Amino acid sequence: MVRTINLSIEKMKYYEKIILLMLSFLIATEGIFVGIKMSIIDIHRFIEIIIFLYFINTIIYEINHSKLLRIIFRFQLFLFLLLSLKLFTVTFIYEEISTSIFWDMARLFLMFMLFYLIFIYLKYMKNGLRIILLFNFPIMLIAFMQFNLFPFSDFAWDFKNTYFANNSVDLAMSNDADTQTAFRTRVIGLYGFSIPLAYILSVNMIMTAYLYLKSNNFIYILYLVFLGVISIFTLTRSILLSWFVIMSYILFKFFKNTKFSTKVVSFIILLIFSIFAVNQFTSNSSSFNRLSGVEDASAAGRIPLALTGTYAMVSYPFGVSKNAYDDIKKEMFQIYHQTNILNFTSHNGIIQFGLTYTLIGFFVLAYFLMNIFRILRDTLDKEMYIFMLVAFFTYLVNALFHNNFIFVEDYYSMIILALLVYEYDLNTKNRGLL
């Protein structure tokens, strides 16, 4: 039955609250149950589609009553048009059959479906973000326990490999040096390898920082520290840099808004923790070599990969085919002599967006983001607007060094987009619930 839910959590039916609680579990475990399918679709996506259809009237209502949601909806439609343009170009001009474009279309629909569901969830589920973080906490704890310096590391890895092996990368067959070194060296939680965990961490950091700004509860700073430790254990430099960005901002807010005695005590605790962390880092330097080194193949290949992707995007502005991209890789390999160029795509989220949605999409994305933040600047108070900028930059820092982006395969990042609209809704209608 398709219907509109009541515009108040108190008036919602009991089973609707259960549905939203189920949705919070699906959001928190995004990427965990990949591979458990019903026919050709993952079962958790199938459940999300059912929930989406149940709340479709509510979603339509919200789109009709929110300027920001209408902008995002139009952007979604435009991305579908760009994928259609790319399909036409690749099929009829370059005479290639590319099924990946159809998968991109399906993925785009599912991502925006999840975005609308998350927005509805945040608006009508009391303590919604806290519940997501609570459901996600065991996954973060497993990731923490997997680090090879802990005595319970074997248990944590065996638990993942026994019960969640369906989403794992075949390390032995992989050509990715980063993936090959992940086995029991770079923690992965319950995900396939360390990079999906890094994306999850970046969004969790943003949610945690947002909740701290809303509540001033010190527990969220402690949880940010916990996420920072896991970021170190992933041996992924980009997510550690993201953590540094968001943590610096939150510490600035904390020290700015607390009394002098609290500042002194907090500074001493922070100093002691920093000394302990540096000591552990130097004592176990071999376990952290990847973080401190910048001469490995992964780091050295980032710029050539990004330049190759940019060259392909500009050379084929209406959509690059697989064969054309392979030719460009061979051409760029002759210049940079980096074997990563032959094996991987751009490793830059924004460039990957342009490769997915054409060069036109690259510029449309820039216009879309500028428009979104212009509206937020005119709507939110200054403190929250600055936080939203910091939050997006936190996400961007990690995404600039990997392929996924907010509209390219990264489903969990729909939380960030939904949070922007949710905060906008709070300030324009003043009837949302955290």
Q: What is the pLDDT of residue 286?
A: 56
Q: How far apart are CA 7 and CA 58, in angstroms?
A: 9
- CA separation, residue 398 to residues 167, 244, 416 (Å): 22, 11, 14
Q: What is the pLDDT of residue 261?
A: 75
Structure tokens at 286: 């071999």
Q: What is the pLDDT of residue 1?
A: 39
Q: How far apart are CA 147 and CA 157, in angstroms?
A: 9
CB atoms within 10 A of CB 278: 10
Q: How far apart are CA 214 and CA 66, in angstroms?
A: 23
Q: Which residue has the tokens 């906490």?
A: 137
Exposed, middle or buried, 386 (CB in 10 Å: 0-12/13-18/19+)? middle
Q: How far apart are CA 229 and CA 116, in angstroms?
A: 32
pLDDT in tens, 335-344: 988 888 988 8
Q: Return all residues near 70 (Cβ < 8 A) that are at least 6 apart.
A: 63, 64
pLDDT under 70: residue ranges of the chain: 1-12, 167-183, 280-300, 430-434
CB atoms within 10 A of CB 33: 17
**In terms of Cα–Cα distance, which of 342, 333, 339, 351 is closest to 401?**
351
Q: How far apart are CA 206 and CA 242, in angstroms?
A: 10
Q: What is the pTM of this model?
A: 0.90
Q: What is the pLDDT of residue 434?
A: 37
Q: What is the pLDDT of residue 431?
A: 42
**In terms of Cα–Cα distance, which of 178, 153, 223 is closest to 344?**
178
Amino acid (one-letter) located at 320: V
Phi, psi for residue 408 in degrees, rounded to 5: -130, 90
